[in-house]
Structure 1
Amino acid sequence: MFEKQQDAMAYVRKFGCPDMFITVTTNPNWKEITDHLLEGQHPHDRPDLLVRVFRLKLKQTMHALKNGCQGSVDAWLYNIEFQKRGLPHAHILLWMSRESKIHPCMIDAAVSAEIPDKNQDPESKRPMHERW
């Protein structure tokens, strides 16, 4: 952790403050996990499976980020940690190139939060814990 912190500080000296902070968390109900559980097993019974699926999804996410899904990236850094309940998660820092930086006037176009209409989105009728 100390080395990662030192690396991050070196990046800040060279590129300035990071432009994006992204957290990727394991969902124990991902289909890739639940499909490989034996009868009567729960995700927490297979930490090997949780970690492998998380690692693959993190690699996909990092590949997409580095190849411009959010814009051109000058530098990136991530750290993987385990939550108290045993699930891995990653904290990702991105330093965007000048033309890809997000400005305050762009926030409303990129971020939206609204209560779903149950007629247009029947998925929202189910309780939240069943949607995961």
Structure 2
Amino acid sequence: MCILPATFPGNPRYMHARTQDAMTYVRKYGRPDLFITFTCNPKWYTIAKELMPGQSAYDRPDLIARIYHLKLGKLMDVITKDQVFGPVCCRMHTINWQKRGLPHAHILIWLCDKTEATEIDHLISAEIPDPSADPELYEIVTTNMIHGPCGSRYNYTSCHNSDGKCTR
């Protein structure tokens, strides 16, 4: 029998230690102000340009991991160094790999200047952009940010359970 130490990533002791770290942040700073999910897009140009003819992003987990970590680092720089949401007291994240083989990060951000929900609503919106005012943004949002199509009219998709119903 081999008992892995808490310093070995991914094992139960490691995960317990990270949970304790998160609870320490909550005790000191309160609840996190932002919960951000950052998902890898296999259509990113930096991924697509490195693929050989006939290859898909799913054939290159090494490439996916490397580019994803670079982009995640840039996102964290924008949040912490550029202070796009204001000064950050602390942060933590975890990276998971989805069923189809792509990573996504769950990021918790504690801001130094506490904000009200109404203030956050001025920074973040969930609207589909006007296609005539900003066609490029409209294309990005409708292509990448909307779930579907799914349902009985469409062939099997990854969001369907065994009864053929969408689980999202």
Q: TM-score range by the shorter chain?
A: 0.7 to 0.9
Residue in structure 1 matching 2:125, options 103, 112, 117 = 112
Change (3 A) 1:94 1:108: closer
Amino acid at match of 1:24: F
> Which structure dedicates a bigger proportion of its chain to helix?
1
Distance 2:61 2:96 in 1: 14
Q: Confirm or deny that 1:14 pairs with 2:32.
A: no
Q: What pairs with 1:1-132 in structure 2 (closer than 5 Å)?
A: 1-67=15-81, 68-97=83-112, 100-123=113-136, 124=138, 128-129=142-143
Q: How many residues are treated as equivalent by the alignment?
A: 128
Percent of pairs identical after alignment? 47
Distance 2:116 2:144 in 1: 37
5+ residue gaps, structure 2: 1-14, 146-168
> Which structure dedicates a bigger proportion of its chain to strand?
1
Change (3 A) 1:58 1:130: closer
Cα deviation for residue 130 of structure 1 reads 8.8
Cα deviation for residue 118 of structure 1 reads 3.6
5+ residue gaps, structure 1: none
Summarize deviations over 1:40-71 as a string: whole Å, max 9, x none: 10110111100100000011111221211210
Q: TM-score, normalised by structure 1?
A: 0.84
Higher relative contact order by CA 8 Å / sep ≥ 6: 1 or 2? 1
For the pair shown, the structure with the greater C-alpha radius of gyration is 2
Specify the SS of the correspondent of 1:18. Answer: coil
Change (3 A) 1:130 1:106: closer
CA RMSD of aligned residues (A): 2.3
Distance 2:84 2:30 in 1: 21
Name segments (4+ residues, structure 1) moved above 6 Å: none
Change (3 A) 1:12 1:108: closer
